[in-house]
Amino acid sequence: MPTPSFSLGDDLLGRAAQRRRARSARVASWDHSGLNEDAFTVMPGETAVLADLEGPGAITHLWFVQGCRVVLGPGLFDAREAGTAMVEFNNALGYNWEVNDPDFYRNVLIKMYWDDQEQPSVVAPLGDFFGVGNSMPAAFQSMPFTVSVKDDSEKKYGGPAAFNCFLPMPFNRRARIEVENQGDHPYMQYFYIDYELFAEDLPEDTLYFHAQWRRNNPCDGWGPDLQVNSLETQVPNLDGHDNYVILETEGAGNFIGCVQTVNHFTETWWGEGDDMIWIDEDFNADGTTSWPPSMHGTGGEDYFSHGWGMQKINYPFQGTIIHEEDVPGLQVHYRFHLADPVRFNERIKVTMEHGHANHLADDWSTTAYWYQTLPSPRFDILPAEERLPRRAEGPSMKDLPVVDRSRLDSRRQVMYEQRDARMTEFTAQRREWFERRAVESRERALKNNELAARVRDRFLGAAKER
């Protein structure tokens, strides 16, 4: 007999050598007309459903590629005839004038819902979910996540990148994945969502995937202008009440790690904050925490499995995505507890000091990943304006002086009038093109649902006959 469909005891390599009562399938952004407009267009204020699947099953892989451009001037083509939304000619050639939206990785949210729950189990900015901290993509490889970036887009705000996630995401009745564009510009979303269908319900001990993004900007530090590791910071912290909270949830499950983004302000060192994790019996009857917690660490770099600061490494379970030596003041890093999950049966609170005894007031954000029982906890996310990345601003269009056209001669005034007319026409063409693509994307999403239902019906019908 084939092995049961879904087993918590699976190992990565062994899965390929076992027959299972399962059927592989995929939902993707492919162009159903047979042409090459292989992306969803998501307009400002719009939520796009990328997948709406009936179970039982498990998502096995996510591949996302996306782009969002801001037009600074009219292009020398009919925008309605564009084969792609991202013209990649160098602006100096005069063919186009557009740049990447530096904020869209924070403005676009990814949400995931399991088994018809009203509240999502995953809520995070799209970039941060995949390890893009501060809207600045950088290539890295870990066991659950990878990001690949072209050299000319590396460590540039809003730069295009390819994302992969290999964490299994089981669902019994239904899985729905959405992206919500809370920004000001349309953006393009290419995607694969690979999954398996099962012939029987999931085991009762199945846990469901969760992810949550948080930010303290800044953390509430009591001595932000004190030097890290100085004599003046040596005060005791014997309750952890003011620590930064990475995760707090109730239920039974496994915490599997986080990605952290730190904007550090004092040109010293962002670390030295101990990790403290309270589990189950560490909580008193009134919900307060006892001392000490079940897991108490020795410093931020130590929790992320580095030492003597942070190294420029990409290991399967720990590593640096952006090192502060390469982007001053910015450090992005990860720790994944896949080999050593932090297990809880009732409740967990994962925290870290921001500087020893919480004296630093840096800008911290984290995406926490965990599995737990349903129902999911209810959690909110900051509004878009409070999610925007802290960007190091260089010279830009904002620094240009305002031109008093009335002081120009007639020929130069005509040049401005010509530019304005071309920009009006180009903007209208581009808007028309985006709106057409957005309508087709919504239709494609519905068709994807129909195709996924057809695959499921055929699989279950065949499974009964086997």
Closest CA to 373 of 256, 254, 279: 254
Closest CA to 224 of 357, 134, 328, 332: 357
Q: Is the dihedral of CA 57, 58, 63, 69 positive or negative?
A: positive
> Left if phi > 0, otherwise alpha if psi is -120 to 50, otherwise beta: which for 83?
alpha
Res. 6: pLDDT tops 70 = no
Q: Distance of alpha carbon 14 from its chain centroid, rounded?
A: 29
Complete DSSP assignment for 84-151: -S---S-GGGSS-EEEE-TTHHHHEEEEEEETT-SS-SEEEEHHHHTT-GGG----EE-SSEEEE--G
Residues 400-411 pLDDT 10s: 999 999 999 999
Section 51-69 average pLDDT: 97
Res. 3: pLDDT tops 80 = no
Given a contact cutoff of 8 angstroms between Cβ atoms, the answer to whether 351 and 243 are in contact is yes
Predicted local confidence at residue 1, as pLDDT? 45
Phi, psi for residue 110 in degrees, rounded to 5: -110, 135
Confidence grade of residue 4 (pLDDT, cut at 50, 70, 90): low
Give the torsion through C-alpha atoms of 170, 176, 182, 186, to 10 deg: 110
Res. 378: pLDDT tops 60 = yes
Residues 315-349 pLDDT 10s: 999 999 999 999 999 999 999 999 999 999 999 99
Angle at 28 between CA 456 and CA 121, to 5 degrees: 75
Closest CA to 381 of 194, 215, 160: 215
Given a contact cutoff of 8 angstroms between Cβ atoms, the answer to whether 342 and 348 are in contact is yes
Where are the strands (E) in 131-252, listed by range? 140-141, 145-148, 161-165, 169-171, 174-181, 187-198, 208-216, 244-250
Predicted local confidence at residue 272, as pLDDT? 87
89 against 38, higher pLDDT: 38
Residues 116-135 pLDDT 10s: 999 999 999 999 999 999 99
Section 226-239 average pLDDT: 94
Section 352-372 average pLDDT: 97
Res. 88: pLDDT tops 80 = no
Question: What is the spatial distance between Cα 38 and Cα 84, in angstroms, rounded to a whole number?
Answer: 9
Given a contact cutoff of 8 angstroms between Cβ atoms, the answer to whether 171 and 208 are in contact is yes
Section 30-54 average pLDDT: 96
Question: What is the spatial distance between Cα 1 and Cα 12, in angstroms, rounded to a whole number?
Answer: 21
Phi, psi for residue 230 in degrees, rounded to 5: -80, 165
H-state helical runs in 224-338: 300-303
